[in-house]
Amino acid sequence: MGRLAVLVAVGVLGVAGAAFASSKVDLRVVGTEVPPISSTRGTFVGASQGPVGAWRISIRHEALNTGPTVAVTGGSLLIGLRTGTALRSSVTGGSVSVTNRGAHCTTQVYAVHVELAAGTFDGTLMHHRRSLFGRCLIYAASISGHAVLQAN
């Protein structure tokens, strides 16, 4: 009788785990850019909400100065939820589009759309800039948005 109870419990947990594993995860994220920083790659880390966790995304894209919209060419996403679940997905495409060029060395704003192997990410990228000795410099970059992933 004890073995049957264990088998039933394992079966129920397996079904519950499978139900979660095949469900959609919908979350809001905020983050900041971290090194390495270049004109063709952005790596961001931050926090997620709904479910709560931490995330890291690395996005490769065409150089931002080549047009008002550039293609996303690759990268990866990792989300670690407070529950202990880790979600991973490769970046398969997307675009980065200028929505505010940041006249007179003010903050530049971009709309970011990322296609993932397991979902999508849509957000707003901000390049925070200041003039220093006559040169306009980006001193920080932040991103916020919405990710929808199919948990496997």
Reported as a pLDDT band with limits 50, 70 and 90, residue 151 is: confident
Reported as a pLDDT band with limits 50, 70 and 90, residue 89 is: very high
Q: Which residues of 45-74 are buried (b: 16+ CB within 10 A; e: fewer)?
A: bbebeeeebebebbbbbbebeeeeebebee
Domain regions of the chain by residue span? 24-150
For residues 111 and 88, what is the distance between their CA atoms, to the nearest angstrom?
A: 23
Select from 118, 64, 117, 127 the least CA-distant residue to 95.
Answer: 64
Residue 4 has pLDDT above 70, yes or no: no
Strand-pair partners of 104: none
For residues 119 and 95, what is the distance between their CA atoms, to the nearest angstrom?
A: 15
pLDDT per position as a tens digit, 12-59:
223 333 334 458 999 999 999 999 888 899 999 999 999 999 999 999
> Cα angle at 96 between 90 and 97, to 5 degrees?
160
Alpha helices by DSSP H, listed for 2-144, are 2-21
Q: What is the mean pLDDT of residues 112-128?
A: 97
Q: What is the mean pLDDT of residues 103-124?
A: 97
Q: What is the pTM of this model?
A: 0.82
pLDDT value, residue 10: 30
Q: Which tokens hold the place of 127?
A: 């390049």
Mean pLDDT over all residues of the chain?
Answer: 86
pLDDT per position as a tens digit, 11-22:
322 333 333 445
Q: Is 13 left (phi over 0), alpha (psi -120 to 50) or beta?
A: alpha
